[in-house]
Structure formats: C-alpha cells, structure tokens
Amino acid sequence: MLVALLVGVLGFFGYTNMRATVEQVDVTTDVEFPALVKLNEMKSLVLEGIAGALAYTILDDPLEKAEFYETVD
C-alpha cells in the first residue's frame, strides 16, 4: 500500500515537472525563433554586401560597379 502511494506521488510530481518543462520550451521557442530568423536574414544581407564589394573591386566591370552603387544608395 505504501509503495503504491509513493509511486503515485512520484508520478504526480514527475508529470507536473514535465508539463512545466514543456511550457518553458514552448515560451523559449516562441521568443527565440523569430530573433534567429531575423539574425539569419541579416547575415545573408551582410554576405551579399561583401560579395558585391568584392565583385566591385576584383572584376572592374562597369555593370557591377553600377549595381554596387545602386545597392549602396
């Protein structure tokens, strides 16, 4: 009888702890995921800018220079 009571109590505390963890993960995901998406977009823009600057300096192509200045403006 005592063992069944202990198993029930431990099961209850385990379940409540699991629910709290799931809620915490849901909140963390809702907060962090949009920030990570925005950071990834910013990284892509920076890499495009670096590629444009390298194309400007290396290729010496008038079309590339015009595109570079349009992007900078």
Domain housing 43: 2-72
pLDDT at residue 30, as a whole number: 66
Sort residue 58 into left (φ over 0), alpha (ψ -120 to 50) or beta: alpha
Q: How many domains does the chain have?
A: 1
The four Cα atoms 20, 21, 27, 33 give a dihedral, to 10 degrees, of -170
Q: Is the pTM of this model over 0.85?
A: no
CB atoms within 10 A of CB 52: 17
**52: part of which helix (H) or strand (E)?**
helix 2-59
pLDDT, one tens digit per residue, over 12-56 is 888 888 888 877 776 666 667 787 888 889 998 888 888 877 776
CA distances from 30 to 17, 38, 41 (A): 20, 13, 18
